[in-house]
Structure 1
């Protein structure tokens, strides 16, 4: 059956998906084709602005302009001219709806997921020729395709692109250098400020302890170490809150334990309320680190 099966909009410079249609097809061949589409979406900057790829019973067609790529999967029997008319219509609407500055500034996948409504409606129209109202424009697109035909990607080109993608992902395997965190909440910002305050108090008391040691040889140097370890743990908690890292939650609990131990050691120099304040702030910060989760892929990110 000649149909448009799937469509997506991505940012050319990094392949970030901006919007996509939803579908529930479980055909293995279609899933393989959508994996090809995902590879292509990350390499649009290296490809011509209009391309086609034959993938078994399906075709992948895409076009790119002004830093945005528009991709679609359709049945192999679907007319080429209709496919690129479909992409051209998505492009015109997307350019009118979103400005380039906003497109360049987004960091989350599917930031323009509301555009999916337009994609779905357009897909329905192009899958029903009787309701298709763009027949008058087909001659223009036919002429354009005849004068400047889409580049037909070969299996060798696709294999080369797949090889580049695998090498790139292997290079960063396990360290997730570009993993983003959810926006910081107000409580998270407050906890970060309080943690910095506690770190500053520990640092100040540590400096005073050093001065006391220099003036009196009988002072315990371990107090200095306890103050500076507390400062380091506070700074590390702020880093864990601000940036993603592997075993982030476990590291936050270790930092909390270190702060608790250092305050227990300093019980002779601090009263109960001071110790409770430092431990409570550390526990609050640990909770905020746990609540601020990495940004995951959208559930339908299966292209």
Structure 2
């Protein structure tokens, strides 16, 4: 009989791994199956709550419930009923151990890695049929699988694992454009609020400038553009602080330069203290963007 080789607990909405078993196998087929498991974890919301993907000599099985998916890899000859009993047992233990609030607010991968202890013990039990004979009632799960068999997923639905098909390219683009950043600090929140304040001030002055242009044709419309460019620049500083993008630091310096240019152009409509206020906040926001770096890579525990 086959054995369970790997198991993981994943948040269904975004594929964030919460816990996983530790293993040291270096089998090519198993490693490929893990790649399929990772691809599956990113698309869990597109599949039913009980599924199987066959990959050569290995099966990837998972069940989903209450926003969490329980996934495993086993040999192709490992009984389906045992595989889903194993996942069901992980599910029951997990939902009684952790509150949904903690699961939903998890930011870093493997936040609940301590659950690995239970995964390992359960995996050892299920890999030893003698220890299961008196502890499981398989008839109920057999009946359930007959009445509602697992949905069979084709590998083609997930794209190429080792190549770069359209699906895999878009996946890597998404990762590159939306890096996970460190948590926002209090100073970062303050800089974001101040940048929004500057944006609001620019917007209000911009509308006043439009009114002036309509009432007096001699007024320069370029001042209106300067105010609105300043508004957009301040809002974009907030975006750069909150979200990770490509060339993030370079963009922050370019936006800072734009804010300075706008305020220099508006020197006739603003006094020195107002210009200093806007530029100082822009400097503060740029510094906060620079300080909020992408999270360091967490150990992958051979996942």
TM-score (norm 2): 0.73
**Correspondence for 2:173:** 174
Tell me, yes or no, if structure 1 residue 227 matches structure 2 residue 227: yes
Equivalent position to 1:137, from 129, 135, 140: 135
Quote the offset at 1:190 in angstroms: 0.4
Tell me, yes or no, if structure 1 residue 53 matches structure 2 residue 49: no
Tell me, yes or no, if structure 1 residue 162 matches structure 2 residue 158: yes
CA distance in 2, matches of 1:294, 1:267: 37
Quote the offset at 1:295 in angstroms: 6.5
Residues 92 and 249 of structure 1: CA distance in aligned 2, closer, same or farther (over 3 Å):
same
CA distance in 2, matches of 1:46, 1:224: 51
Q: Secondary structure at the match of 1:136?
A: coil
CA distance in 1, matches of 2:48, 2:224: 60
Residues 88 and 239 of structure 1: CA distance in aligned 2, closer, same or farther (over 3 Å):
closer
Quote the offset at 1:20 in angstroms: 1.6
Tell me, yes or no, if structure 1 residue 278 matches structure 2 residue 274: no
**Correspondence for 2:196:** 196
1:102-135 C-alpha deviation (Å, 9 max, x unpaired): 65666765453342332234335555678x4x44
CA distance in 1, matches of 2:51, 2:234: 52
8 A contact 2:60–2:71 mirrored in 1: yes
CA distance in 2, matches of 1:206, 1:44: 45
| 1:1-303 alignment runs, 5 A limit | 3-12=3-12, 15-41=15-41, 42-43=43-44, 46-47=47-48, 49=50, 51=52, 53=54, 55-56=56-57, 58-75=58-75, 82-99=82-99, 103=103, 109-126=109-126, 132=131, 134-138=132-136, 140-141=137-138, 143-144=139-140, 146-149=142-145, 151=149, 157-163=153-159, 174=173, 182-207=182-207, 209=209, 220-293=220-293, 298-300=298-300
Residues 169 and 197 of structure 1: CA distance in aligned 2, closer, same or farther (over 3 Å):
same
Quote the offset at 1:93 in angstroms: 0.3
TM-score (norm 1): 0.73
How many residue pairs match? The answer is 296
Residues 124 and 181 of structure 1: CA distance in aligned 2, closer, same or farther (over 3 Å):
same
Structure 1 unaligned segments of length 5 or more: list them.
Answer: none
RMSD, matched Cα: 4.1
Relative to structure 2, which stretch is displaced further, 108-117 or 273-282?
108-117
Q: Secondary structure at the match of 2:135?
A: helix
Quote the offset at 1:214 in angstroms: 6.5
Structure 2 unaligned segments of length 5 or more: list them.
Answer: none
8 A contact 2:52–2:59 mirrored in 1: no
CA distance in 2, matches of 1:18, 1:223: 52
Residues 190 and 59 of structure 1: CA distance in aligned 2, closer, same or farther (over 3 Å):
same
Quote the offset at 1:90 in angstroms: 1.0
1:243-296 C-alpha deviation (Å, 9 max, x unpaired): 454443332221100011122333455454443332221121122233445678
Q: Secondary structure at the match of 2:154?
A: helix
CA distance in 2, matches of 1:128, 1:256: 63
Quote the offset at 1:26 in angstroms: 3.2
Quote the offset at 1:185 in angstroms: 2.2
Q: Secondary structure at the match of 1:137?
A: coil
CA distance in 2, matches of 1:47, 1:210: 55
8 A contact 1:175–1:245 mirrored in 2: no
